[in-house]
Amino acid sequence: MPLIPTLISLAVVVGFGVFSGWRGARPPDLIRGPRLVPWRFLMIAAAAIALALLVHLVSLIGGSPGT
């Protein structure tokens, strides 16, 4: 994946992770019932994907000596 799509994907994943963290940190609303979306798990998954994208970004910027 080229540099620009990697940066766009990283920005989207980080934004989703921040949003998931915000939603997961809110106190439960007993009137509305239980949460049906596992926001904390989605935040952790977004962090793992962001880490993989960061590693890919560093490999794109650094490049390998043979290429």
Q: What pLDDT score was predicted for residue 9?
A: 97
Q: What pLDDT score was predicted for residue 52?
A: 96
pLDDT above 90: residue 30: no
Q: What percent of the chain has pLDDT over 90?
A: 69
**Residue carrying the six token digits 């290429």:** 67
CA separation for the pair 35, 37 (Å, rounded)? 6
Prediction pTM value = 0.83
